[in-house]
């Protein structure tokens, strides 16, 4: 693979760096490395309500793998990507993780999707010395507490929400915050950010209400937010729950401002909503791609994706593609004698790694395994007609 000239601190020297550092599971860290291939694994919701995330993420990862292999792989080794379906269920995630780690003996879990599913598989991977790389979850647990083998490339949910609350209080004179959140680690991260920022700005306690994954009835939750006078409702929702909760509010004549985290900042929250989400705000770190607005480079990439999968590329596709490209560059920089520890050291050397899609640049260090600047990497967008339109970059 031809290494892109994107590393500002000389990653080519990483392979020569010797280290005495050790970590739990180090004896098993080299599994998945063969003479002719490197085996990577991922678990995705390829079925069920979150498949609208899992399928395009997987396509994006596969497209990146195919490009890398076509260019010679990593020091002559081809990448092999094994993907298992979780249907966004923790019990299936446990089975998928055990298969990938113990049977397939993958070198790393790459882009595993979902906070609750990662909370099951990540500890098992780290215990075996298997890297957990760029999970498709912006929960802070994906990089905290610090561990040599886990890295995140997404602006945390709580920081997204802190930035959003800060924006609406300062620019829209909002005084009462409400939070509707999924009752799991994902939703609690969204809640945390809203509570912290409301407290920091001297606002009343947030009005909070939750729901179980897969819920379809939000009448009691919306009634509570309305009766409490929530002017801004922060949504710890994905797709179906985003549309369902907003539809419920409209039915009873409740029209606060709604803002969803990056989990719900996706094209499907427009295309499936049939106009219900007009005016919805969303936070994220990469703009949703629209072909007519894209740069020539992004248009060419979208054309290639369309030809390969007969589908239009979406933000989720970009997420899968970029995470593989970044990890592959780190493996390449780590040298032919590849280990998990050397790859981690290579990642820690990356500074200001850009995104051709307009997303946040990635920088890591020995002590910080979160790529984007968590306080200053979110963008706020709004549903206007058939598109998400960027409002501005936000911070707190």
Q: What are phi and psi of 366, to 5 degrees?
A: -60, -30
Q: Look at 29-43, 72-86, 138-152, 173-187 and tell me which has the smallest mean pLDDT.
A: 29-43
Judge whether residue 167 has pLDDT over 70.
Answer: yes
Total number of domains in the chain: 2
pLDDT at residue number 6: 37
Mean pLDDT score across all residues of the chain: 93
Residue 39 sits in a domain whose CATH number is: 3.40.50.2300
For residue 232, being part of any structural domain is answered with: yes
For residue 367, being part of any structural domain is answered with: no
Judge whether residue 232 has pLDDT over 70.
Answer: yes
For residue 356, being part of any structural domain is answered with: no
pLDDT at residue number 28: 45
pLDDT at residue number 30: 80
43 and 186 in a single domain? The answer is no
For the chain, what percent of residues have pLDDT higher than 70?
93
76 and 145 in a single domain? The answer is yes
Q: What are phi and psi of 54, to 5 degrees?
A: -65, -40
244 and 323 in a single domain? The answer is no
- Of 247, 196, 192, nearest to 221 by C-alpha is 247
For residue 358, being part of any structural domain is answered with: no
Judge whether residue 20 has pLDDT over 90.
Answer: no
263 and 307 in a single domain? The answer is no
Measure the CA–CA gap between 303 and 313, rounded to whole angstroms.
9
254 and 387 in a single domain? The answer is yes
114 and 163 in a single domain? The answer is no
17 and 150 in a single domain? The answer is yes
94 and 234 in a single domain? The answer is no
135 and 96 in a single domain? The answer is yes
Judge whether residue 290 has pLDDT over 60.
Answer: yes
Structural domain that includes position 339: 11-154+292-348
């Amino acid at each position: 693979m031809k290494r892109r000239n994107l590393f500002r601190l000389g990653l080519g020297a990483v392979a020569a760096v010797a280290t005495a550092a050790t970590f739990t599971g180090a004896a098993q860290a080299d599994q998945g490395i063969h003479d002719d291939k490197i085996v990577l694994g991922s678990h995705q919701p390829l079925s069920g309500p979150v498949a609208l995330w899992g399928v395009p993420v997987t396509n994006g990862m596969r497209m990146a793998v195919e490009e890398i292999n076509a260019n010679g792989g990593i020091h002559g080794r081809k990448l092999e990507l094994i993907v298992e379906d979780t249907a966004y269920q923790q019990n299936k995630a446990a089975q998928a993780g055990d298969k990938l780690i113990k049977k397939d003996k993958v070198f790393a879990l790459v882009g595993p999707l979902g906070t609750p599913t990662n909370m099951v598989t990540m500890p098992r991977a780290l215990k075996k010395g298997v890297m957990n790389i760029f999970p498709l979850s912006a929960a802070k647990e994906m990089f905290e507490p610090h561990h040599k083998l886990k890295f995140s490339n997404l602006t945390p949910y709580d920081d997204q929400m802190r930035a959003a609350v800060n924006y609406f209080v300062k620019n829209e004179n909002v005084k009462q915050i409400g939070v509707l959140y999924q009752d799991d680690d994902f939703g609690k991260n969204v809640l945390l950010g809203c509570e912290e920022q409301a407290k920091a700005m001297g606002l009343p306690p947030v009005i909070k209400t939750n729901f179980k994954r897969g819920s379809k009835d939000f009448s009691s939750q919306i009634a509570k937010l309305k009766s409490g006078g929530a002017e801004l409702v922060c949504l710890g929702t994905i797709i179906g729950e985003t549309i369902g909760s907003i539809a419920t509010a409209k039915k009873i004549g409740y029209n606060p401002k709604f803002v969803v985290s990056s989990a719900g900042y996706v094209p499907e929250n427009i295309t499936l909503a049939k106009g219900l989400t007009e005016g919805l705000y969303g936070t994220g770190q990469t703009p949703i791609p629209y072909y007519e607005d894209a740069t020539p480079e992004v248009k060419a990439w979208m054309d290639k994706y369309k030809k390969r999968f007969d589908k239009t590329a979406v933000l989720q596709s970009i997420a899968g593609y970029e995470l593989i490209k970044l990890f592959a560059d780190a493996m390449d920089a780590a040298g032919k004698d590849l280990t998990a520890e050397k790859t981690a050291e290579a990642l820690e050397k990356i500074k200001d790694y850009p995104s051709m899609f307009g997303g946040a640049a990635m920088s890591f260090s020995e002590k910080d395994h979160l790529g984007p600047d968590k306080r200053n990497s979110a963008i706020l967008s709004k549903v206007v007609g058939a598109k998400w339109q960027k409002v501005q970059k936000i911070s707190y």
